[in-house]
Amino acid sequence: MDIALVGIGKIAVDQHVPAINASPDWTLAATVSRQGSVDGVDSYTDFAQMLAERPEIRVVSLCLPPVPRFGYAAAALAAGRHVMLEKPPGASLSECHRLIELARAQGVTLYATWHSREAAMVAPAKAWLTDKTMTRMTVTWKEDVRRWHPGQDWIWEPGGLGVFDPGINALSIVTEILPDPIHLTAATLEVPENKQGPIAASLRFAHPKGADVSAVFDWRQDGDQTWTIEVETDAGTLALHDGGARMVINGQEHRAEGPTLEGEYPRLYANMAGLVATGDSDVDLAPMRHVADAFLLGRRETVAPFHD
């Protein structure tokens, strides 16, 4: 199938383009971007023009920042195109629900992707936890914003999520692997005095069976990056490390046979091909609900200014 990629920035170049080019399901037929392009691929700066001139392109993958994404997604759906959304699926929950309605009315596929759910050991962790009684879960997600988001000012603005841009990856794994739903009860958001978005956050959740569930996100990490989820159960402990690439159960490491993190985006595009083939959609908003709740319930603390 032909696919158009919209928003040719760092994530598109690093992840989406290689995944599409390596896929047996897709041909990158066009790009839309004000600045970026892909060698050998027709490029547009105007999305409406691409939709009008390329009716044979039935699928659009949107890699834009969250705030402008809704307009592009709504236009694509109105034109009868299937739409794949980078995470988070929108700047607000209301936008996402509107896109679900539009996709349903048009009879097309809408796929809200959560790439961290496709890390190699997430599915095995979910399977192991299915019949266990959890007593504690601790999420530690600490990275260096300068390394992963250099010069991306939009990420600090309203709708950019701040530290929840990576933190929502952790929440996408948590909501995937837990047998029982959780909800946020308290949060502290550390906001630099010169920014709109938080640079760090601590969260606490209620679990229906009384487990102690907490998370810490921080963008000020030097040295090794930390993406860990640790779970204590009645059958021992499980830990996911490196964003779900590695799993340790009761001290024994379990390794994936295939790609670990580098397999995330290829699996997303394989999922999208399957959804289009069956006419289904997949728009799970659970990770985003937790972030929205954190902004609603979170206590703000002003911290030192941050400069790239």
State yes or no: is 87 an active-site residue: yes
Residue 223 neighbours by CB under 8 Å, 6+ apart: none
Residue 223 tokens, joined: 């040295």
- Residue found under tokens 């601790």: 138
Residue 137 neighbours by CB under 8 Å, 6+ apart: 174, 178, 207, 211, 212, 213, 214, 229, 230, 231, 232
Catalytic residue among 87, 132, 142, 209: 87
Residue 225 tokens, joined: 């990056």
Residue 200 tokens, joined: 């760090």
* Upper half-sphere CA count for residue 24 (Cβ side, 13 Å): 1
Cα separation, 65 vs 172, in Å, equals 18
Cα separation, 102 vs 53, in Å, equals 22
Beta bridge partners of 42: 30
Catalytic annotation, residues: 87
